[in-house]
Structure formats: C-alpha cells, structure tokens
Chains A and B, each alone.
Chain A
Amino acid sequence: MSIDQFNYTRIPADAELLRAEVREFLSQTLADFPAVRRADSWMGFDAEFSCKLGARGWVGMALPKQYGGADASAFARYVVIEELLAAGAPVSAHWFADRQSGPQILHYGTQAQRDFHLPAICRGERYFCIGMSEPGSGSDLASIKSRARREGDKWVLNGQKVWTTNAHRAHYMIALVRTSDSDNRHGGMSQFIIDLTLPGITVRPIKDLTGSEHFNEVFFDNVELSDDDLIGSEGQGWQQVTAELAFERSGPERFLSSMALLNTLIEMIGEQPDRLQAREIGRLTARLFTLRNMSLAVTRQLQEGKNPAWAASCVKDLGSVFEQEIPEIAQLLTETLPTSSGGSDHARVLAYLMQQAPSFSLRGGTREILRGIIARGLGLR
C-alpha cells in the first residue's frame, strides 16, 4: 500500500481522440437540457438517452467486440464517462451495468450469461442494480442475512435488500446473498443475477429527503433461482464483491457529482471575481484537477489488471469531501437563496445539490468504512 501507486498518468492520445466527438454529441443532444437536471449527474435516468449512447458504441465500450463492445481501453471509457458526467448527462439507466455489472459478467460469468447480457448492455438497453445493503447490514456488509437455499436443482431466495439504487427501473440485480453457513465471516456468500420480474420480488421506492426516488427496498419471498443464475463461484461472493468495489470507488463520478453547481457558481461569479471568490474557485480547481489525476492513476492500475482497492478508497473519500464542500463554498461566495422552485438556475442547482450532498459519502461505502480500508493498507489494523 504505497503512495507510489499514485503515478501521474496521461490519457493516451488514441483515447483522447474520442473527446471532441463526445463533446459534439453532447452539445447537440443536450442543447436544451436544464441545469437542474444536469445536477442529477449520474442519478438522472433516461432510457432513450442510454440507447442513443449505446448506438454510438459508448456503453460497455471496454467489453470485447464479440459482445458488442469496442475492446476499448479503460482510458477510452474514462474519456467518455468523464465527458458525460461533466456535462450532467442522464446516464443513470445504464450506469451500473456499464461500470460494474458488465465487467463482472465478462470476468466471472458463464458463456451463456455473457451471450445473454453483454450485447444488451452494450446497446444501452439492459439495466442493472447492485444488491448489497440490507436493513441490518449497511457498513457491516458481511452480516447480510438474505439467503438462497438449495432445494433439488433450484435455489430458493428469501430476504430483503435496501438502498438499492434504480431497483424500480432496472431489469436485473446482481445480489450478494448467503448460500451456506461458514465459520469464516467472509465465507458462505455468493452472487446471483436476479431477473427482477420473477414471482416473489417486490420493489418499493424509498423517497429521499428531497422527495426524489432513486433508491429502493427489494423483498424476496421464495424467489426461485437456478444454478444458471449464479455468477462466479458458489461461496466466493465476498471476494467477487471486494474486487468489484475498486471499479466502484475510483471513477470520475466520485468527484464530479457537484459539477453542475461548480458551473453555475462560476457563471454567477462572472469574469471578474473578487479576492475571496478567486481564491476559493482557484482552490477548488486545483483540487478537481488533482482528484482527476488521482483517479487516472487508479485507472491505469485497472487497465493493467491490478486490484487498486486501497488507492480507489483514497480517491472516493477525498472526492466525496470535495463534492460535499462545493455547496458549502457556493453559499460562502454569493448571496443566493437556495430555491426548490422559482429562482435562478444557480439557486435551484444549489438547493438540489446541497440536499443531495449527504448521500455522497454514504453511497459506495461510508467515509468511516473507506478510512478503515485506507488505515488497514497503512498497516494500522
């Protein structure tokens, strides 16, 4: 666990070539897209938009060509997703499939699972959600209780997931569940690809504090699954989930969530900032620039097939602090009353992101969990 993992990494020229094309596409497709919807960042759901991206080859692009991907490098994908996020494009529908379910199915899935899911993911048509947390198991993920029992040649699943983003709109969930008893705290768990239309599944949206519906509770009541739904190895669920988290914690979505607000703030300040405004915008810019370089250093490790879980935790924690600080600094720099309706674009984006900000250090692992992982890497635990 060395700081040397953070090697400065320039995006290779061939990946960089994509940028102009993506920007051109976004400037046309999102010409009239309102600022407050851009503030939704990667929580904005628009299936039509995802299909358009799929048609361009920008969903699942790192997957092999035989499945509809482009065999693109992690850097090419990075260029595409950072442009999407910086523009506030509504990418939520395909986001989880593109980021982690697709790579996971490629890596651990059977040939049949690959053939069935990956082409649909690449078309931007098939949406996944990630079933991890449960009512009694948030940060302590290894304490999950949902259980699939073997009955003949079937698995029968009972239990409940919670805080599952997009479960109400996704087609499939990749869920971590218990499949056997184990003395090892991290043993006895497996992952299933669950068709959310199966009998016995109930999805109930949970309104967040703004009244928006992003996450859900999902109930499993004697849901029948088969061996074909198991992904990876039985009993290896914990290891698979841990590997997945490196993808989940290092991307640009971990520091660009408040980008819409940074944009309206700079617009509001105008071209002649006062000393305080210049100082704070400059400081934020330096941090944004550096977080991106940290994230690219982790991307290089992913591209090289390493598991940079430790470095990814550093990016996510520092990135969340940055995202959460932007609404606070915006409040400091201009006299703007945050508004839920009416008011300027800036006032609405400020109101929205100020209220969303607490979620930034919850989703994908809390601040405390990440700092614990970092501390373990430093040899302190």
Chain B
Amino acid sequence: MRDVFESALEKLFTDHVSAEAVLNAERDGWQPQLWAAIEESGFALASAPEELGGAGASWDDLFGVLQLCGRFSLPLPLPEALLGNWLLGQCGLEAIAAPLSVAPRADLVWEGGRVSGTLQQVPWGRHVEQVVAVVAGPEPTVVVLATAACSDKILSTNTAGEARDDLVFEQATPLASQSLAAGLAADVLWQGGALLRSVQMAGALQEVMRVAAEYVNERVQFGKPIAKFQAVQHQLAVLAEHVAATRVAAEAACVESTAGLALLPLMAAKICASEAAGIGASSGHGVHGAIGFTHEYSLHLLTRRLWSWRSEFGSLTYWSDQLGQAVCGAGVKLYWPTITSGALPQ
C-alpha cells in the first residue's frame, strides 16, 4: 500500500507543489485549488476505515505520504487531516472531507452538551473549516468543532509562515462527539502530532541532504568542487547519519502504531528528529554559504520548517523528559527489556 500511495502523491505534489507555490502560500495563506486537488485525490480521508468513508490506511501505509509532505513543504494540513480522520475512525465517527485540522492542546469543558475553552496552536486554524479536539476529564471525549463557531481567534504563525492559531469557543455545539476509544490517551492528538512532525522532518531532512550534496558538487572554489574538501565531506557524512536515524525512527513509530500509537517508538522518533533538525539546518546552511541564506534560494523552505516542527507537539526536551521519567521510574532492571520490547514499562 505504501508504495502505491507514495507514487500517486509524489506525482500530484510534483505537479502542484513547487517552491513558488509554497512561497505563495506563505504570503497569501490558504491555497484552495491545491486543497481541492488533494481532496479530490482522497488522500485526506485515507486514514479512516472504509466503512466510515476512508481507505483504511495504517500509519505504516501512510509513512511515505507524510514524508512527502515534509519533502515538498506542503503548505496545507494534510498530515493533520489524516490524524483527525484517523482519530474519528478509531472512535467510530464518520470521516470529514472538508479542510480539517487537530487541536494539539485543548482546555475544553462540557456544559450541557456544549463545549467552552481554548484550542491551542491549531495548525492552519484560521483556514480550516473543522477541528478535531479531545475534551479531557474522567470520560475523555472526541469532538469536532466548526471553526466558524469560535468566538475569538488569537493568530500566530510559525517560522515557516504556517498558521498556528488559538481558537476560543464559548458554549459551542460540537458537530460530532464520541467517547474516546479505549486504549487512547486524552493527549492522543498531541502524541499523534509528534508522530506526524517526526515523519515530516524525516522527509524534509532527506531533501536537505539531497540539495546539499548536489550543491557542493557544483560549487567550485580554490579550483575544485567544494565536495572535495574533507571538512565539507565530514559535515555531510554526519548529517547523513542523523538523517538515517530520523528516517528509521520515524518509520518504526509508524509501523508499530497499529492499535493506537506506539509511544516509545514515537517518543524516540520525535527526540531524534528534533535533534537532527538542528544539525540538518546547520550543516545544510553551512555548506551552502551565503547563497543558502537568501530568500531566492529554496533551502530555507525546508530549514524554516525544521526549526518550527522540532518544537511543535512537544520538543526534544519535552519528550526526553517524559521518556526519562518513564524509564527511570521503572528501575534499572527493566531498562534493557524496555529497549528490546519497544514498549514503555507499565
């Protein structure tokens, strides 16, 4: 499944998601035609079960799709829509074909069938029509909220010009709601978002690697391509190691997230990707010199995203802290068995 999805989407992105299109999106915001093309392709629904309007694709199937979103700097919430529709499907709710995002964090409360509170840092919040969120509490509930119903928006954008907005709701009636499926945590969207960003970063980092290797073979200084200098070679060799680590870590998190999300692989993926993001941006720009620092040259489309994505849905520090608490708390006897089992100690 993975290859089929990947090649279909790669074609669509190659045709529609040029560097120019990404820059236009950063300047103008939402790209309705591009979203329409994606909606038409059906990809945004793929993560939902077939009986609820999707294609029943697993995270394993979607690994290549998410990598492509990173590689092409897709300026639309396709990853978020996949996560939203996946969660709706897990909870028995119908998939949503409209522009859709998720709430990384929410402090919602129920009041007689209505919800109030703030959805924080919603990707593409001002542009999407609907947002999937979880109302925490003794009985966590998944809700779908119409952005048109929000009473206030606090707008912000990340370093890549991607909208990350707080949406405030007062006594809003959800478009749909359902108890959170058993086995999923109330912060499932936060965890799932970390998975998305890890895979997107893996895709973006591979592209940084490719662009950098190409550039150093073309750029001539001191009478030879700068690729021939050992200092340049070693920078990119170290980068390749981190890109490889990020890729396999992100893939592990996708493959192991069969029933619910695989927390240990997911944490490892976000931690490694967040670390690699800094290294990738530094080495990528390092070998490019001044040209890579210009707006004209498109390296920044990747690096400005890496600088934001590494912090979204939990930074390296956040997830390292969580993972460290978990493994220290379980004691040293369980340490190695945790590594080999791939599951956090209970």
Contacts and interface: CB of A to CB of B under 8 A. Distances in A.
Contacts of B326: 282
A311 B243 CA distance: 12
Contacts of A283: 271, 275, 316, 320, 323-324
Interface stretch (A69-77, A94-102, A135-143, A263-271): A263-271
B213 interface: yes
B234 interface: yes
Interface band, chain B: 35 or more
Contacts of B245: 6, 287, 290-291, 294, 318
Given A263-B332, A281-B328, A7 B234 contact: no
Interface stretch (B34-42, B108-116, B142-150, B247-255): B247-255
B331 A282 contact: no
Contact of B244 (A10, A273, A314): A314
Contacts of A374: 237, 240-241
A281 B234 contact: no
Contacts of A311: 244
A311 B245 CA distance: 11
Contacts of A290: 245, 248-249, 252, 268-269, 272
Interface string B41-57: 00000000000000000
Which of A86, A272, A282, A317 is most buried by chain B, counting CB atoms within 10 A of its CB? Answer: A282
Contact of A371 (B238, B321, B329, B332): B238
Contacts of B325: 273, 278, 282
Which of A5, A6, A285, A291 is most buried by chain B, counting CB atoms within 10 A of its CB? Answer: A285
Given A287-B272, A378-B240, A82 B320 contact: no
Interface in B294-346: 316-317, 319-332, 335-336, 338-340, 342
29 contacts: A3-B206, A3-B209, A6-B244, A6-B247, A263-B335, A277-B324, A278-B320, A278-B324, A279-B317, A282-B321, A286-B249, A286-B272, A286-B320, A287-B271, A288-B339, A289-B264, A290-B245, A290-B249, A294-B248, A317-B237, A317-B241, A318-B245, A370-B237, A371-B233, A374-B240, A375-B237, A378-B237, A380-B232, A381-B227
A144 interface: no
Nearest to A311: B244
A287 B321 CA distance: 14
Contacts of B255: 8, 10
Given A8-B252, A285-B324, A3 B233 contact: no
Interface string A283-314: 10111111111100100000000000001001
A89 to B, nearest CB: 13
B229 to A, nearest CB: 9
B99 interface: no
B217 interface: yes
Chain A interface, >50% SS class? helix
A280 interface: yes
B236 interface: yes
Interface string B202-237: 000010010001001100000000011010111011
Contact of B248 (A8, A82, A279, A381): A8
Which of A263, A314, A368 is most buried by chain B, counting CB atoms within 10 A of its CB? Answer: A314
A280 B331 contact: no
A374 to B, nearest CB: 4
Interface string A1-21: 001111110100000000100
Contacts of A368: 230, 234
Interface band, chain A: 35 or more
Interface in A234-267: 259, 262-263, 266-267
A285 B252 contact: no
Nearest to B320: A282
B69 interface: no
Nearest to B271: A286
B233 A279 contact: no
A275 interface: yes
Contacts of A259: 336
Nearest to A23: B337
A378 B317 CA distance: 31
Nearest to A310: B240
A279 to B, nearest CB: 5
Contacts of B331: 266, 271
Contacts of A10: 255
A59 B238 CA distance: 34
A314 to B, nearest CB: 5
B233 A375 contact: yes
A372 interface: yes
A8 B240 contact: no
A3 B247 contact: yes
Interface in A214-252: none
A381 B233 contact: yes
Nearest to B336: A86
Given A272-B328, A277-B328, A280-B324, A6 B268 contact: no
A211 interface: no
B324 A82 contact: no
B265 A297 contact: no
B102 interface: no
Given A267-B332, A272-B329, A8 B340 contact: no
B236 A378 contact: yes
B310 to A, nearest CB: 13
B267 interface: yes
Nearest 10 interchain pairs by C-beta: A282-B324, A278-B324, A282-B320, A282-B323, A375-B233, A286-B271, A374-B237, A371-B237, A8-B251, A281-B324
